[in-house]
Amino acid sequence: MARLIVWLVLAIIIARLLWRFIRAILDGAGMLRGDAPPSAMKLVRDPVCGIFVVPSQALTAGSGSDTMYFCSEKCRKQWSGR
């Protein structure tokens, strides 16, 4: 009987380890979360003219969460001049 319990505990531990391993792989592949893929086109709004721009190609002002994106130098100047 004691042997059976030991085997049961061992099986549970192995199953948990395996599950954690599988979760880590799925997490790394971004399959577990329902988030949009990071490669998806994400647009930000130019606060001056209201046009949507691609962050990687836009002009920026500020940093961190306060970063603003602009379609052109003209808009950026207008924003910083306020």
**Contacting positions for Zn ion (CB under 5 A):** 46, 48-49, 71, 75
CB 2 within 8 A of CB 10: no
Minimum CB distance to Zn ion, residue 46 (Å): 4
Minimum CB distance to Zn ion, residue 57 (Å): 13
**Smaller CB distance to Zn ion: residue 9 or 49?**
49
SS3 65: helix
Q: Which residues contact 67 (CB under 8 A, 6 or more apart)?
A: 60, 61
**Smaller CB distance to Zn ion: residue 30 or 62?**
62
